[in-house]
Chain A
Amino acid sequence: MRIRFTFWLVVLLVIPAPLFATMQDETDVDVQVREIAKTLRCTVCQTENIWESGAPLAQQMRGVIRERIALGHSTEEIRAYFLSRYGDYILMEPPKHGVNWFIWVAPFLLLLVGGFFLYKEVTHWVRDTPTPPNQPTPPLDDQARKRIERELES
């Protein structure tokens, strides 16, 4: 009991208090900003979303999202606004339409085609490998028989 109490006491002391403060202070608007920002690509860094990016433009974009939420815009309206300014590129996930379908399907297609070729090649090898003719095992000569008997006895 005492050990468990000490353990939790240590855990609470080790975890920094601001972590709890941040968790408690996050409002519904913050959550919505985060959810939207995570789906939009930072046009400066290009590999990060605007929630994670430290670029000033990403910071300004987060500000724009917050302002639009305050004006009562829905998540879809805000995403549509950024899409209208930067095109498909702004979305972390390419939208599933037109040529973009290729991006979604290509990995699976390549896997299937690769698997098919591998299957064809392996069956080819198996078919073409010559199997040794089924011959009777040659009888043991006296010398070999004596050696085996010796090995078994020892």
Chain B
Amino acid sequence: MAEGRGLTPLQLDALREVGNIGSGNAAVALSTMVDKKVLLSVPRATLVPLVKVSDLVGGAETPVVGIYLHISGEASGSMLLLLEEKSANQLAHLMVSGGEQGELSTVEQSALQETGSILAGSYLNALSQMTALLLRPSVPGFAMDMAGAIIDFILVEISQSEDYVLVIETQFDILEHVIKGHLILFPDLGSLDLILGRLGVSG
């Protein structure tokens, strides 16, 4: 993406639609996993300047949970699910019944990691199907730390090509809880153009 570039509303809509379909698949998988009704929705897809990503979750020092996947194949990049600490805790306690409030146990951490993996995988599948591109996710990495610290190495990987990243807001509705997260797609050079072209909304 050249500097100052934006996406048209039509392009963002197309990407949000991919998010919706991916979320549908993820919701089914998560519902089965936790044996509770899980609704997933995608309120918004936006293009955010790289340096503003940590502002999405309240600034560079805000404690967050990050689940990171590297994507390889016909298009490449990184995907990061960011959950604010409170949301991550809620989600973990819902996933692992009988879990105690407070610090995350190892079991809860792996439940979160699995959730991130399912979510990212479902989104990737949807993207893969709609674009007929082969996309392979890596094993997910997991970290709980300051938002800025979690994001900065991904900036390194793509700062040489892109100035903006695609942020797909996700919302989990589990029982009476509403849990908000950000699924962030960092496409490598040329990958976003390729994806948009395959979705039939090239610029």
**B is a partner of A:** no
Which of B's residues lie within 8 Å of A, judged by CB? none
Chain A residues with a Cβ under 8 A of chain B? none
